[in-house]
Structure 1
Amino acid sequence: MISFFRKIRQKLLQQNRVTRYLVYALGEIVLVTIGILIALQINTWNEQRKDSNREKLILQNLHSEFIGNKEKILATIELHEAILGTTKGLMKLFKQPDSILNTYNLDSLLERSISFRDISTSQSAIEDLISSGNLNLISSENLRKLIFEWNGEIVEKDESFETLDETAQTLLLPYLMKNTSLKNIDRFGFLDWEEESKFESQINKIFQDLEFENQLDSHAWGIANYLNALYVLHEISDKIISETVSNIKSE
């Protein structure tokens, strides 16, 4: 093609047709420019198509991950709402006479109250997205904001659980170790002891003690604080699921 244009150009010059040559040369420049623009447009279109495919895969991974996270969050919320309910029930037993306290299995209720555990959410899709620098491939500004909000609330959730766990480990459990039998409590937990402690636990007495009431009240606060963090994560996970579905459909 280049040799063809060169021959035409030489022929026009030999015939001393300068005007026609200039017109031809200009036309040649225009054709070359159009060709370059078309090539650039095709290349841009190919890159956009690749980015769109990558975005769709990212959205699908996020969607799957947060479907799983939502299920875990709901199960953890259900568990800790039950734990908080048990703890609040125990709070109603203070200063009650033995005739009332003996109608309850206090060891079982205490075991239930201290059986809290942290949730382990899946972060692989978000971590891969951020570490790879592909966050800009997500066209939805709202979804990008939700991802950053999720990461921030995960930190808040971790801090809430650490507060709950530290309070229980440093205050509540030492109190129970000193004033009642942990073996009797653990009979209803993972250890599942077959027989009670041979020591007298005098568990009823701790429900006449202001210190234990304060300990249990602090424990209830920690559970409620942790639940609040879980509620926020549940709300964000719902929004991320909705946003990913909406963006996948628009692809």
Structure 2
Amino acid sequence: MENKTSKYLTYAFGEIVLVVVGILIALQINAWYDASKKEKLKQVYTSNLISDLTKDTIQLNARVKLNEYQLRHLDSVLTFIQHPNTTAEDIKQLGKNDGLAGLRTINTYNDNTFNILKSTGNIALFNDTIIQTIMELNRLQFAAKGVADGNRSSYFNLYGSYSKLYVSEIEGNRSLEDDLWVQVDAQKHASLFISATRSRRHSISRFIELTNEVIAKTEELLGMLIPN
């Protein structure tokens, strides 16, 4: 009787061990499958991020180059204005011939992948260093946009005031244009023209500065994502 009981217990114990081992193997397989699935998803996100960031660097560098050209032109205008021999009439003539230009200080970012990572929580697929760099890049982008929006608003307020008072080129009627500019008070014109020109220069200068910071952080993140 005791021998039968012993055999039964041994058999039962063996069955339990087999069940536990089976469960552990199943859990291991599931864990491996889960890890494999996450790794494949991470690879897709990495590829998409690299594509987005590469496009950004191309666009941002082109925008900086354009604004650097505008900045050099503005510096030459301000150098002329600041010359001791320059008069209000000279500035009036400058306003008549060149007027004021707009601004191209709006950056658009390829941020679809970032937005998906953030909304789904899948940003956790990456290590802490990459996550921190992604979030810092997003912060720099947001800060640069806020500064650019504020500076653009300030400039276009002056630009709007200037446009209401002083006509730009009247195509096909140069004599009317000349007549209108003859009536312009050179002192009042000079004051508004100089203020607007300085505001435009400040907007462009800050845009270049902050965009270069975004470019540097973008390239840093690309260096982390692109395999050596």
Do both share a fold (TM > 0.5)? yes
Alignment partner of 1:122 is 2:123: no
Question: CA–CA distance in 2 between the matches of 1:18 and 1:166?
Answer: 90
Question: CA–CA distance in 1 between the matches of 2:47 and 2:176?
Answer: 58
- Residues 128-207 of structure 1: matches in 2 within 5 Å? 128-138=116-126, 140-178=127-165, 180-183=166-169, 193=171, 196=174, 198-200=176-178, 201=181, 205=186
Alignment partner of 1:223 is 2:204: yes
From the two aligned structures, give the one with the greater helix fraction: 2
- Residues 1-251 of structure 1: matches in 2 within 5 Å? 16-94=3-81, 96-97=85-86, 110-111=99-100, 113-138=101-126, 140-178=127-165, 180-183=166-169, 193=171, 196=174, 198-200=176-178, 201=181, 205=186, 209-246=190-227
Give the match's secondary structure for 2:177: coil
Flag the 1:119–1:133 CA change in 2: closer, same or farther, 3 A.
same
Question: CA–CA distance in 2 between the matches of 1:20 and 1:34?
Answer: 21
Flag the 1:183–1:165 CA change in 2: closer, same or farther, 3 A.
farther
Which protein has the larger Cα radius of gyration, Structure 1 or Structure 2?
1
Letter in 1 for 2:125: L
Letter in 1 for 2:217: I
Percent identity for Structure 1 against Structure 2: 20
The TM-score, its normalising length taken from structure 2, stands at 0.82
Flag the 1:54–1:165 CA change in 2: closer, same or farther, 3 A.
same
- Post-superposition shift, 1:181? 2.8
After superposition, what is the alpha-carbon deviation per residue over 1:159-216, rounded to whole angstroms, capped at 9, x for unaligned? 12212221121124413542x43236xxxxxxxx566472233699479935533332
Give the match's secondary structure for 1:181: coil
Question: CA–CA distance in 2 between the matches of 1:214 and 1:106?
Answer: 13
Flag the 1:244–1:115 CA change in 2: closer, same or farther, 3 A.
same
Letter in 1 for 2:199: S
- Post-superposition shift, 1:109? 5.2
Question: CA–CA distance in 1 between the matches of 2:29 and 2:75?
Answer: 67
Check the 8 A contact 2:60/2:211 in 1, yes or no.
yes
- Post-superposition shift, 1:52? 0.3
Flag the 1:245–1:164 CA change in 2: closer, same or farther, 3 A.
same
- Post-superposition shift, 1:126? 0.8
Number of residue-to-residue matches in the alignment: 221
Question: CA–CA distance in 1 between the matches of 2:226 and 2:216?
Answer: 16
Flag the 1:198–1:153 CA change in 2: closer, same or farther, 3 A.
same
CA RMSD of aligned residues (A): 3.0
